[in-house]
Each structure stands twice: as C-alpha cells, then as structure tokens.
Amino acid sequence: MLTYLRKRIISSGLPLLVVIVGVFALARMTGNPAALYLPLNATEAMREDFAVRNGLDQPIWVQMAQYFGGILRLDFGESMRTGESAGAMALRAFPATLQLAGTTMALAIVLAVIVGSAAALKPNGILDRFSSFLSMTAASIPDFWLAIVGIWVFAITLGWVPTSGVVGMAAWVLPVATLVMRPFGTLVQVVRGAMVSSLSEPYIKLARAKGATQYRVVGAHALRNAAAPGLTVAGDLTVGLVNGAVVVETIFGWPGIGKLMIDSILQRDFAVLQACVLLTAVAIFVLNILIDIGYALLDPRVRPSAGARKRRKARVEHRGQQNGPKAPTTPTTTGSAATAVLDA
Amino acid sequence: MMTEMLEPTAQSDPPTDTVLEVTGLDVDIRTPQGTVRVVSQVSFAARRGQTLALLGESGCGKSMTAKAIAGLLDPVASVAGGTAVLDGQDLNQMNPKQRRAVAGPGLGIVFQDALTALNPVYTIGTQLGEAFRIHRGASKKQAKAEAIDLMRRVGIPEPETRVNSYPHQFSGGMRQRILIAMAVALSPQLLIADEPTTALDVTVQAQIMLLLRKLRTEQQMAVVLITHDLAVVAEEADEVCVMYAGNVVEQGSVDKVFSHPTHPYTKGLLESVPTDAQRGEGLSSIPGSPPELTKIPAGCVYQDRCPLASAICRQERPLLRDTADGQRAACHFAEKVSAAKTDNDDANNVKEEIR
Amino acid sequence: MTQIQDQPVPGKTVKTSVAQRLGRPSMLSMLLRDKFATVAAVILGFVLLTAAFGPSLMGELATNQDLMFMNKAPFDPANGWAYFLGSDSLGRSMLARMVVATQTTLLVAVPAVLVALFLGSLWGVWAGYHRGRRENISMRLADIIMSFPSLLLAVVVLFVFSPSAANIVLILAITRIPIYMRTARAESAELQSRTFVDAARTFGTKPNSIIVRHVIPVVTPTLLTLATLEFCFVMLAESSLSFLGIGIQPPDVSWGLMVAQGRQYLQTAWWLSILPGLAIVITAVAANVLAAWMRIATDPAQRWRLTLDKQAKKDLTAVIKDAK
C-alpha cells in the first residue's frame, strides 16, 4: 500500500507541480488586474499602492516563492474582489459541484447499466441499435444548448422548474438532466461492449451448465466482469464533472467550483483561481485512489499482490481500448485536473 | 434399438443400465448462406459407470452434439430433430426452467479450456459452492464447506486455504480439476467431458484422465468423453462413436472397433498411427481433408477420401448397420473393410500399440 | 500422442467465401450499403460545401441589417427565402448568418483536428516504437498537457495574443494532441513487438523506415476513425468556448456564438438559439455515425458485414431473429 501511495504521489505530483506553476504564470499573463479593479482615472500612486498591497510589484519568481510558502501554511491568499480567504471561497463552492457530480454520475451509471445490459443481451437487435443511436446523440449534444432548450421548454414555456438556483428539488432537474447526457452516452457504449464480450465468455456457459437462472447469469457473472472497464471510464467521467461543469454551472447559476473558476479567470482574481485549481487537483488525486481501490476490489487479478504497476497498466489498457478501434463512440477525456473544462 | 445393439462388453461386469439415450439427433447452424446441418442422425447410449467416447476431427460435430445434449448451443445453432432421453425425460422437450433443474444434478459438463471457463472475479469456493446454492438452497457457509470437500475429492492440496483463491492463482492442471469438481458437485448421472485434456501438458493429461476414471467409478456416472485423441479412447473408453462430417460412421465397443474396424475412415485413422515405423519409410495418412459442412456431397460423406469409393457411394448414403456383434458402421463395403483388416497383422494389434 | 490433425473450422471459411463471392469491396460501395452512414456522409458533405461556397454567395446578406425585419419567426414564406429561418434582433437573415457561421466553425474544427492528428500521431508512434525513456517522457508530457486547465489557456491566448480563429485552432490542437498520442503509442508499442517488424529489423531497416512502412499504415485507419470522433468533440469545444465568450469574437460568427447571442432573446425569439444549436447537433451526430461506420469498414475482421447485399442482409436479420 505504501509503495502504491508513493508511486501514485510521484506520478501525480509532477504534473500537478507543473500545472500549478503554469497556472500561476499564465494567469499573470492575462493582464494586470489593476486595470479591472481601479477606476480608469486612477493615479500612478493608486496603481502602485494596489500593486504593493497585492504583492504584484515583486518579480514573478518572488511572488511564486511566497505563494508556495503560503501553501505550506495552508494560506492560499486573499481574493482581490472580496478580500476573503481564497481557500475558504473554493471550499465553500466545492460541495455544490460535488453534489451535482455525484447525483449525475449515480444516475448515469444506473441508466447506462440497465440500457447497456439490455442492449448486450441481443446484439444488433432493435433495442441495441436504438440504444447505440441514443447514446451517440446523447454524446453529441452540446450541453449549453441542451440547457437552453431545457430552460426554453420546461422553465419558460411550461413553467415546471425554475430557470436557475439551488433551492428545492425542482432546481436540480435541469442541471442534472443536462449534465447526465454525455456520461450516459459514453457509459452505455462501454457497458454494452463489456457485456457483449463477457456474455460470450465460456464461464457464462459454465454458469448455465450449473443451472443458474438468466438473472444470475447476467447479474452476477456477466455484469461483475463488465464492471471493471465500466469503472475506469466512469472514473474518468467523474473527474471531468468534479472539475466543475463550467457551462452548466454558469447557465443555471449553480454556485460551484466551475463557476467560481471562470469568474476568477475573467476577474483576474489570481489567488482564487489558484485555490480552485489546487483544490480540484487534490480532489481528483483522492478520486483516482478511490478508483484504483474500486478497480482492485472488482478485479482480483490486479490486487496488490500483483503490484500497483500492473494495476495501473490494466487501467491504462482499458483506456487504450476506449480510444482504440473497437472503442465506444466518444473518446473520454482522461486528464486529471481541469481538462474537462472544455467538455463542460 | 440402441440397447439391443450395444451389448454389455465382457469386461464390464456390473449391471449396465442406460442413463442417456440419444436417438436421431440433428443440429442445424444458420449461416447467411442458409441452414447447414452440422450433426445428422446421431444415435448412441451412455451407461452407468461406463465411458462413451465421441471421436473425430475438429469440426466433425462431436462438440456440437455434446452442447446440444447439455442445452448450451450458441444462438445460431439449434436442435432440429431427434431425442436425448436422460433418466426417462427428453432433454430436447424441456422448457428453460426444467433444463435448469437438470443442469447440475442430472448432467454435468467439463469444458476444454479451464482458464476461460472459470469466472475470473469470483473465488474458487464461491464458484464451487454455487451449484449447492442454486439447487440445494445451501447457506454461504454450507456451500463453502461443500466446496472444500469437493476440492479434497479432486485432489487439490490445502483446500481450506485454497478455497479463497481466485482462478488465476491456480495452475492449468489444478484449474481443470476444479472444473471437474464443479461438474460432479451434485453427483450427476451423466458427465460430459468436452476435450478435457486438450489444453494441458502430457503428464497432467494422464492425471486428469485418472481423476475422471476414479470419479466415474465412485459415483457410478455415465461419462461421455469427447476427444480427437485415439490413445485416450483406447485407454479410457468402453464404447466409441466415430464421427465424420456430422455423421456417426462407426460405433461399438472400443475393443471391437479398434481391432476390427469396419469403416474405411476408422481404418484410415488407425493406420495413420505410426507403429513400427522405419526410418525413411513414409508414414501413413488419410489423403485429403473433410468436406466443408456447406458442401457435404450427396451419397456417402466419406466418398472423396475413401479408397473403396464406387458408383453407389456417390448416389446412396449408407445407413448405420450391424457389421459385427456389437458393432455398426455406415459403409456399403463394411465386409470388405473388415476382411481386408483381418489380413493385416499390423492393424490387428493397433490397439495394443497405441497403448 | 496420436491425434487427428486439426482442420480449419467450417464457420470461418463461410465468412471468407462471402467476401470472395463479392470480391474486395470498394469503400464507396460499402458506404452505400449502410443507410445511416450514407445519410451521415451526405450531411457532412453538404456542411462542407456550405462552408466552402456559402459565404461568398450570402456573405453580404448576413451583415445586411433591416430594422423593419427584426426578430421575424422562421418558416414563414411571406418573408421571402432569405428569412426562411427567421431574422435576428438586428433584422439580419438567420439563414445567411448560419451559412457564414458554418465556415467559421469548420475553419476552426477541421484545422485543429488535422494539426492534432498529424503531430499527436507521429509523436505517439515514435514514442511507442522506441519505448524506454523516450516513451516515458512523452507520456508524462501528455499527462501534463491533459491536466492543464484548457479554459485558462484559452483566456490567456485571448488576452495576450489576438483572439483570432487561428489562436483558437492552436489551443484546441494542443489540448487534443495527447488523445492521438496515447492511441498511437499503444498501437505502435504493440506492433513493434510483432514478427513482421522483427523481420524488417533483421534486414537492417532503419527505425524511421520501419515506422513509415510498417507501423504507420497499420495504425492509420484507427487514427482516422479517432479523428472523425474528435472532429465532433473539437466542434463542441469551440462552441463551448464561444458560448463562454472566450472563443470566436463578434463580428465573426460561429454556431456556438450564435447560441450564446440568442440566449437573451429566448423568451421572444427562440430560433436565435435553438437553430444554430440544432446545426451543431446534426453535424456532430453525423460525424459520430460516420466514425462508427469507419470503425467497421476499416476492420478486416468486421468488414464482411458491410459487404452483404440487401438479400443477404435480410437473411442475416432473419437468422438473428430466429436465433432468439
């Protein structure tokens, strides 16, 4: 376990460090925040004072050193906009994103397992063809457009749900329905593919030869074998959602980390942006460990005795299959930090 | 009709009652080109405590026959006719529920490739105990105890600790033992062994065959052994069905069929066994290859490779008929084959030679 | 051991005989046999033609403001063909604007896909063929690119450099390179251990020639299929960026931007947002369907499915139906 953790930290740590440094530098390239925060007719003295207060007068490497020193003391700096602690702001926004991601993924997994298994029972059957078209379409609809259509139909025309906000059950319907499409479409294809190959394995015949019912054969024997590849892809999709569904959070006014991130980018609120990137990176690090543990629980062939390397390899291979020739329709974003912003 | 045909042979003294009687079994496969009959009019009987071998090349329909009996045909294949009576009930007439009730207590099957036949994500104990959970409603604890007991019976060392291991943690021979244990878990009357040793090393093969023989005697099962290995048949089986292109071409007791083959195909097979081969001398083999199942000729199925083929073989398909006591063959010239055989001292001793 | 010689399984010969009977099929005839794929190809062809010739025909119309014709509803023949898809808040023809937007959208998506495909594939094949340190460093780099907040990258480019279409192409290409890299590396690493590559090595062929002659031809179909899927993804990404205001900037216009601009008129003029979005969906689904078809058509083990004529297909469906 310790070896595993060490390897995990080394393999995630380097990209994380590069990303933090990169974000730090890139964010400062977007322009001087003084232009945004001070009145147009601000005097030179006001500008200097602003720069000194925010540490912007120092050379960039000094700023960076101060920043890293702060991280060690769990001090992530203050927001230029509100003066609040950036760490606290990120932590406050994060639960909203996690709740949205959790609900969406739970729904996507349940639906995908049902539809994908049903499709796999009769390959090339009507249900199979219908579900493959459905999942293709689900994965092709831009979420911002779907959100707008949802608002137009259900909020404006029918008045069933509110257009934005987080109050009450009804407020969840549109964001979740919008977000669930892509994970659902991708997972249906993965589950279907894994189930088709698992159902054609000899151990399914053996289970039938023992007199197992169809329910037992599909539910216990086939699905359990299809779960590992499903988990890998589901994990990657969750990573994308945890990064914050920027577009959906923006449209529905959902106070999550994605909205906070885009706002702080547009406002040059460097400290908040850095805190957001760091927080999601840590969350994704934890999530990846959970996925690895889940993977080992599901597939005994990659348990610790076989070594963490092998497990990583198996997961990577699953990912490879994902993008490979027989892969389902959508290549998933497999990044670990804020990649999926583009997805969002 | 079969019972009358296959008299108990001299060596098997206990009373031999029929467990499985297959009569006129036909199996069809549907392909884009149309329906192809892959098993045609196969009849045989398996008796308690005895082994019946289905012998033939790959693609001759022997595995398909076994799968048809076990109800495990792939979706594109189906039983087109005939009966398979197990313990007074026709398996082909059963609905899925009745099938499931028979699968396990009535009929066990051992697959060829133990690595893929075992579910990789469950422990051996879970998989061995599954049959007890399904058919006897055993608790998890009881099932595990039964699994340990089974593992001991098939000779797996340290069953108490190994019961929690996963398939990939066993060697090929051990996996095959586990597969056999699974098939005999509920003491079925009939055990179908589909090439149980093909994927194994030669030394392990012998151990597995020994284990099968031991279990057959202990549990008084009827065993249907599917193989392409003449030596295994000579060693293990009491009776043999030689199959060619989906048809049974010769059947009878192993002693008789191997010492006095009455079908040219059987004879060709036995002659292709290298006995007393001299350096520099060519080895005997049957020329040509079996017909594609989509292009089986009218008349005798073996006509293209048969040295005795004549006009009648191209027009009329020979039916299985008695050629000697307890022996039947589908050949217009069975007597001629048989006569040629007795002249040949070498072939006469083939059975001993293979052993 | 005396064993009967194994013969080829009859089932396999059946498949080849179908292919033999029909001869080696051309891609076109295979495409025409799949109705869905044909429709998808026609749609994509239409979109391409629109992008190529549309703007020169309707460019002027797209910028023509007519305040008498504000927010006219679509599908009303009384307004004339130019306003068939309605008009926007400045009275410009939606049809003309969408045609112009088609060009912008494709001029971002297609070059981005091509650049990423070319660079990512070559890099991945090279890394996978040589293995070892070169592979490790390349994959770490890919990890870093993948874990970078591309949104931030987009903003940086937008603020530091000019927010031109070329820069958006650059961002999208860079962020998608790792996708091709991973696939190409996996395939190439697998291929370099194959016997035919070993054979080439024993003849003293140089690594670069082996990569060009033996590895690239094998991985190309997979990567082209991936690129078709990626076209769909990149198009969605561009429209997301434009929607957030950090992609295509007015007065240029892309489908994603049109959706964003129309959003505030959702209550009064739904078509301003819905129609351009529909264009995105239809094009994306078409690309997806075509990719699914390509996956089968370029896989020798599955290609036979597409060679069946109508009758054979009917038979096959009947067979499958029977089997249930």
Percent residues over pLDDT 90 in chain C: 2
Tell me how far apart the alpha carbons of residues A14 and B311 are, in angstroms, rounded to a whole number.
82
| A113 is a domain residue | yes
Mean pLDDT, rounded, for C120-145:
82
CB spacing of B30 vs C319 below 8 angstroms = yes
At B279 the three-state DSSP class reads coil
CB spacing of C323 vs B30 below 8 angstroms = yes
Residue appearing with tokens 């707008």: A148
Tell me how far apart the alpha carbons of residues C173 and C184 are, in angstroms, rounded to a whole number.
16
Tell me how far apart the alpha carbons of residues A230 and A223 are, in angstroms, rounded to a whole number.
10
Mean pLDDT, rounded, for B42-50:
90
Mean pLDDT, rounded, for C286-313:
69
Determine which of A224-228, A269-273, A313-317, B193-197 has the lowest per-residue pLDDT on average: A313-317
Q: Rg of the Cα trace of chain A?
A: 23
Q: In chain C, what's the furthest Cα-to-Cα distance?
A: 94
Q: Choose among B31, B36, B228: nearest Cβ to C3.
A: B228
Segment (H or E) for B243 = strand B239-244
CB spacing of C151 vs A342 below 8 angstroms = yes
C300 vs C37 pLDDT, higher one:
C37
| A41 is a domain residue | no
Q: Is the pLDDT of residue C282 over 70?
A: yes
**Beta bridge partner(s), residue B35:** B30
pLDDT, position C62: 66
Q: Is the pLDDT of residue B223 over 90?
A: yes
DSSP B303: G
pLDDT, position C256: 85
Tell me how far apart the alpha carbons of residues C182 and C167 are, in angstroms, rounded to a whole number.
24
At B36 the three-state DSSP class reads strand
Q: Which residues of chain A are within 8 Å of residue B166 when distances are taken between CB atoms? A: 300-301
CB spacing of B100 vs A300 below 8 angstroms = no
Mean pLDDT, rounded, for B57-67:
86
Tell me how far apart the alpha carbons of residues B173 and B197 are, in angstroms, rounded to a whole number.
9
Buried/exposed code over A266-287 (b: 16+ C-beta within 10 A; e: otherwise)? bbbbbbbbbbbbbbbbebbbeb
Q: Which residues of chain A are within 8 Å of residue B122 when distances are taken between CB atoms? A: 224
Identify the band that residue C5 occupies on the pLDDT scale cut at 50, 70 and 90: very low
Question: What's the whole-number average pLDDT of chain B?
Answer: 83
Mean pLDDT, rounded, for C192-197:
80
Mean pLDDT, rounded, for C98-112:
87
Buried/exposed code over B325-339 (b: 16+ C-beta within 10 A; e: otherwise)? ebbbbbbbbbeebbe
Structure tokens at A110: 């349940």
pLDDT, position A323: 38
| A297 is a domain residue | no
Percent residues over pLDDT 90 in chain B: 12
A52 vs B188 pLDDT, higher one:
B188
CB C104 within 8 A of CB C253: yes
Tell me which amino acid residue C306 is: L
pLDDT, position B31: 75
pLDDT, position A308: 42
Q: Angle A223-242/A170-199 helices, nearest 10 degrees?
A: 140
Q: Is the pLDDT of residue C103 over 80?
A: yes
Identify the band that residue A15 occupies on the pLDDT scale cut at 50, 70 and 90: confident
Determine which of C66-70, C209-213, C285-289 has the lowest per-residue pLDDT on average: C66-70
Q: Is the pLDDT of residue A11 over 90?
A: no
Q: Is the pLDDT of residue A39 over 80?
A: no
Residue appearing with tokens 């003294």: B13
Q: How are beta strands B77-86 and B89-90 bridged, if at all?
A: antiparallel
**What ipTM does the predicted assembly reach?**
0.78
pLDDT, position B51: 92
User: Backbone phi, then psi, for C180, in 5-degree steps?
Assistant: -70, -40
Identify the band that residue C69 occupies on the pLDDT scale cut at 50, 70 and 90: low
Mean pLDDT, rounded, for C182-188:
84
String of DSSP letters for B145-192: HHHHHHHHHTT-SSHHHHTT--GGGS-HHHHHHHHHHHHHTT--SEEE
3-state secondary structure A149-208: HHHHHHHHHCCCCCCCCCCCCHHHHHHHHHHHHHHHHHHHHHHHHHHHHHHCCHHHHHHH
Nearest C-alpha neighbor of B185 from the set A209, A203, A204:
A209
Q: Which residues of chain A are within 8 Å of residue C285 when distances are taken between CB atoms? A: 136-137, 140
A249 vs A325 pLDDT, higher one:
A249
pLDDT, position A240: 77
pLDDT tens-digit map of B283-332: 777 877 788 777 788 888 888 888 888 888 888 888 888 887 778 888 88
The winner for highest mean pLDDT among A156-160, A230-234, C283-287, C313-317 is C283-287
pLDDT, position C161: 73
Residue appearing with tokens 């001292």: B345
pLDDT, position A310: 45
Question: What's the whole-number average pLDDT of chain C?
Answer: 75
Contact partners for chain B, using 3 or more CB pairs closer than 8 A, are A, C
Identify the band that residue A332 occupies on the pLDDT scale cut at 50, 70 and 90: very low
Q: Is the pLDDT of residue C300 over 70?
A: no
A13 vs B171 pLDDT, higher one:
B171
| A218 is a domain residue | yes
Q: Which residues of chain A are within 8 Å of residue B100 when distances are taken between CB atoms? A: 211-213
Mean pLDDT, rounded, for C231-242:
84
pLDDT, position B148: 92
| A204 is a domain residue | yes
Identify the band that residue B73 occupies on the pLDDT scale cut at 50, 70 and 90: confident
CB B2 within 8 A of CB B23: yes
| A308 is a domain residue | no
Environment class of C99 (CB within 10 Å of its CB; exposed 0-12, middle 13-18, buried 19+)? buried
Tell me how far apart the alpha carbons of residues B50 and B191 are, in angstroms, rounded to a whole number.
10
Any idea what the CATH number is for the domain that residue A96 is in?
1.10.3720.10
CA distance to B297, B299, B327, per residue, from B330 (Å):
15, 11, 11
Question: How many of the other CB atoms lie within 10 Å of CB of A68?
Answer: 13
DSSP B47: E
Q: Is the pLDDT of residue C320 over 60?
A: no
CB spacing of B120 vs A213 below 8 angstroms = no
Mean pLDDT, rounded, for A306-317:
45
Tell me which amino acid residue A154 is: F
At B333 the three-state DSSP class reads coil
pLDDT, position B190: 92
CB B168 within 8 A of CB B120: yes
Vertex B149 angle, CA B148 and B155, to 5°: 90
CB spacing of B130 vs A207 below 8 angstroms = yes
At A81 the three-state DSSP class reads coil
Tell me which amino acid residue B194 is: D
Q: How many helices (H) and strands (E) does chain B have?
A: 16, 12
Mean pLDDT, rounded, for A280-292:
82
Task: Tell me whether the omega of the peptide bond preceding residue C251 falls within 30 degrees of 0, making it cis.
Answer: yes
CB spacing of C1 vs B289 below 8 angstroms = no
pLDDT, position A319: 46
Q: Is the pLDDT of residue A19 over 60?
A: yes
Residues 198-217 of A with CB under 8 A from B: 201-203, 205-214, 216
String of DSSP letters for C59-97: HHHHH---GGGTTPPSS-GGG-GGGTT-B-TT--BHHHH
Tell me how far apart the alpha carbons of residues B77 and B26 are, in angstroms, rounded to a whole number.
11
Instruction: Please tell me the pTM assigned to this model.
Output: 0.76
Nearest C-alpha neighbor of C103 from the set C211, C253, C251, C219:
C253
Q: Is the pLDDT of residue C18 over 70?
A: no
User: Backbone phi, then psi, for B242, in 5-degree steps?
Assistant: -90, 125
Structure tokens at C165: 């279409």
Q: Which residues contact A171 (CB under 8 A, 6 or more apart)?
A: A161, A162, A164, A165, A252
Environment class of B220 (CB within 10 Å of its CB; exposed 0-12, middle 13-18, buried 19+)? middle
Determine which of A108-117, A231-240, A332-341, C194-203 has the lowest per-residue pLDDT on average: A332-341
For chain A, what is the domain count?
A: 1
Tell me which residues of chain B have a C-beta less than 8 Å from any C-beta of chain A. Answer: 70-72, 96, 99-105, 108-109, 111, 113, 116-123, 130-131, 134-135, 166, 168, 179, 182-183
Question: What's the whole-number average pLDDT of chain A?
Answer: 76
> Which runs of consecutive H residues, i.e. helices, occur in chain A?
2-29, 34-37, 44-53, 60-72, 86-121, 126-140, 143-150, 170-199, 202-209, 214-216, 223-242, 246-251, 257-266, 270-298, 308-323
Mean pLDDT, rounded, for B77-104:
87
Q: Is the pLDDT of residue A306 over 60?
A: no
User: Given CA atoms B196, B198, B201, B202 in this order, what sign does their dihedral have?
Assistant: positive
Q: Which residues of chain A are within 8 Å of residue C225 when distances are taken between CB atoms? A: 325
The winner for highest mean pLDDT among A272-281, A303-312, C27-36, C138-147 is A272-281
| A2 is a domain residue | no
A150 vs C152 pLDDT, higher one:
A150
**Beta bridge partner(s), residue B253:** B239
Q: Which residues constitute the domain of residue A204?
A: 92-263
Structure tokens at A23: 């974000």
| A223 is a domain residue | yes
pLDDT tens-digit map of B313-326: 888 888 888 887 77
